[in-house]
Structure 1
């Protein structure tokens, strides 16, 4: 989930929004490169969304479904879900290559990207657009709200029952189980609620434009629909950088793995340097021994 969010920030914000704006007519402006960047943006955003939904569902199963917890909450299942979600996101984005065409042709070189007329006229593209918007905006938003509400209800009931069983005399004692549950619910709600709140504007903009069959850019840049949609995009991309920060702050294991990843190139470099130094030392030792035996033989 952190990697997918980081890829969204790199390709959607840095490459597509910043580099394309400040470096027009660079290789990023070629139609082929533009199509590929738009495809990567869609795939990364889709993976980021559904990895967050999968994380929320995983916490829901771990807390609320004790019967299937041991079978579902395993490394193999997690790997399968991540791999399947990635493949489906890549397949869902394939039509993006055919929905754009060159914006202009200069000396037989295709520059820029613009939406083809078929996207606005063919019913198949309308169905695909609705499916894309629903799978990235409405469905994840609804699923996360549902799983969070059920998880919170289960945790509150479990904590109330546990405190009742422990009795009033032991309330002042430290309860490791309650602390673990508290940490779990804090992490879950920090990730999930930040996603829901930052996507709320996009959901409202989608409801106001797509469901009402209106176009957000009617009325120019001062149109309320246009402003709401652009603010929704801003918050949407902002939600992609919060999960990585949340994990870096709250999860010790995540910080340890991140530290190992950042240190590994330097460790590899040091090991190669030490191996090379040891190799040269061995070569000098072998050379000296040869000279010694040669002297003895003579």
Structure 2
């Protein structure tokens, strides 16, 4: 069942990447860049975390992925992919905030070039920030002088520098993104509500009907997509956020093994929802974007069309 779910999640993100990359979904190139990058990051989370880590641990023990250097590299890539997925969501939310609330800055910031620079920077900094993760592990056992599996070095818990890095890491993800997304959404919604009131008042004074206003329709579509993506992130990361707060103020630890303990249940529930967030955006596009649905149908029908063109 886990293998099937992983394949479905990966396939969903691949479909989103292909569909959005065609550029026929009625979205600006700036938005398309962010959505494609988010789909790529989510796909990497599924590959490194769900397939290479979880499924390999359950079904393929002592595979080459369990060789300690490969295991350590995979764990570092897991955290890199998660950070990319999270911070791309933040910058997409920030881009929509600028586009909707800051008219003077919109022309300069909300461009294809800026989006490409931001995306490349997020991927690069996420990789650099997680390099220490590779060195935090040691082998769990030795078999014929070959190191197998990964376990966090016990000596690290006493090093002030490592404690500081750990605090910085969990502040970077998920504390800061969670707060920023909530704040940016609140400011964006406040600005849209205020602008819509002014626009309705002006149209009433001109005896115009609201439903003929294309500007308000575009704003409505933008806010639906924005709130769907960022709202999904907030809901699916809420448990992980609360658990991270508990680790700082209650004194509990990560990767707790007592499954009768409520904090252990909370941690693993948060992890499950966090993995789910890596495939939720594709379904959001299907629900919120009519042109995305049309393009998706076209792509899915293409193999059938191709077989009809090929003579038997």
Aligned residue in 2 for 1:195 = 233
Give the TM-score normalised by the residue count of structure 1.
0.83
Matched, 1:25 2:62: yes
Matched, 1:250 2:275: no
Tell me how far apart the structure 2 counterparts of residues 262 and 121 of structure 1 sit (CA, whole Å): 54
SS at match of 1:170: coil
CA displacement, residues 57-76 of structure 1 (integer Å, 9 cap, x when unaligned): 00000000001100000111
Task: Choose from 84, 106, 112 the match for 2:121.
Answer: 84
Matched, 1:133 2:173: no
**Does the CA contact (< 8 Å) of 2:224 and 2:288 recur in 1?**
no
**Does the CA contact (< 8 Å) of 2:259 and 2:265 recur in 1?**
yes
SS at match of 2:142: strand
Tell me how far apart the structure 1 counterparts of residues 295 and 165 of structure 2 sit (CA, whole Å): 39
Task: Choose from 194, 197, 211 the match for 2:249.
Answer: 211
Tell me how far apart the structure 2 counterparts of residues 209 and 98 of structure 1 sit (CA, whole Å): 22
**Does the CA contact (< 8 Å) of 1:4 and 1:44 recur in 2?**
yes
Out of 173-182 and 62-71, give the one that drifted further: 173-182
Tell me how far apart the structure 2 counterparts of residues 209 and 157 of structure 1 sit (CA, whole Å): 40
Tell me how far apart the structure 2 counterparts of residues 221 and 40 of structure 1 sit (CA, whole Å): 27
RMSD: 2.8
How many residue pairs are counted as aligned between the two chains?
273
Structure 2, unaligned runs of 5 or more: 1-37, 304-309
TM-aligned CA distance change 1:23 to 1:115, over 3 Å: same
Aligned residue in 1 for 2:161 = 124
Deviation for aligned residue 1:21 = 1.1
